[in-house]
Amino acid sequence: MSGDPGVRLPFAGRAEAGVLLGERLSALGLEDPIVLALPRGGVEVAVPVAVRLGGVLDVLVSRKIGHPANPEFGVGAVAEGGEPVFDEGVLARLGLTEEDLAHVVEAERAELARRVEVYRRERRLPAPGGRNVVVVDDGLATGVTARAALRAVGAGRPGRLVLAVPVAAPETARAMRTEADEVVTLATPPDFYAVGQWYRRFDQLGDADVLDLLDTWARARDSV
């Protein structure tokens, strides 16, 4: 796990954070990496990362599994190609079982499939086998979505699996070290309570924004 005590917070926006993150990642010497962004916010961070590192950029679609009575409260997540991952401690505290969440998982899988169809445009997800893979998001709070994504990618046996985020809750960043070969962060502030607090601009992105960002990367790649 890495962090830079000299990084000034908050970031101006996701794009600035991505530039800084790309510079940090360049020191790892990752040859021809696959950069997988967690939509939607992670895509804006990942574009400058992929431009800096080269390689391939695509999305890895994942969905939070919310509490049945409060969908915004995440108790798990599912990523394409992977199985649902639950926060077992939260489930125990709430008295929930995985079976209680089966209908929520089904609904999130349906939305996941819709987003894959929209974002990927019939492309196949790059095969991670033996490759350097960098999973990028705009921040880590509980980390359950990143955990689901890393396990889905890890099942494909990448050569090196890196999780890269501009900012993370310290305890979450530490926990992610069991899921990735390396966790790269720019900042792990102790008073972390939400990802958005560390960005001056933290707009909510839509499907059209994700497609525009992927097109921006494609143009940058083709101009090299």
Q: What is the pLDDT of residues 123-148, one digit of tens each?
A: 899 999 999 999 999 999 999 999 99
User: Does residue 2 have a pLDDT over 80?
Assistant: no
- What's the gap between Cα 3 and its chain centre? 17
Q: What is the pLDDT of residue 90?
A: 92
Q: Angle 102-120/207-223 helices, nearest 10 degrees?
A: 40
Residue 94 pLDDT level (bands cut at 50, 70, 90): very high
Structural domain spans, the chain: 14-62+126-223
pLDDT of residue 222: 82
- As to burial, measured by CB atoms within 10 angstroms (0-12 exposed, 13-18 middle, 19+ buried), residue 59 is buried
What percentage of the chain reaches a pLDDT higher than 90?
88
pTM for the predicted model, two decimal places: 0.94
What's the pLDDT tens digit per position in 9-31?
Answer: 999 999 999 999 999 999 999 99
Mean pLDDT value across residues 30-55: 96
- How far is the C-alpha of 198 from the C-alpha of 13, rounded, in Å? 9
* Helix, strand, coil in percent for the chain, rounding step 5: 45, 25, 35
User: Measured between alpha carbons, how far is 224 from 216 in angstroms, rounded to an integer?
Assistant: 13
pLDDT the model gives residue 62? 94
Domain 14-62+126-223 architecture: 3-Layer(aba) Sandwich (3.40)
Predicted local confidence at residue 55, as pLDDT: 87
pLDDT reported for residue 3: 56
> Token digits for 214?
């992927």
Q: Which residue has the tokens 């509490």?
A: 67
For residue 155, pLDDT over 80 is answered with: yes
Instruction: For residue range 113-123, list pLDDT tens digits in order.
Output: 999 999 988 88
Rounded distance between C-alpha atoms, residue 112 and residue 35, angstroms: 19
DSSP strands (E only) in the chain: 34-37, 56-59, 62-67, 70-79, 85-86, 132-136, 160-167, 182-187
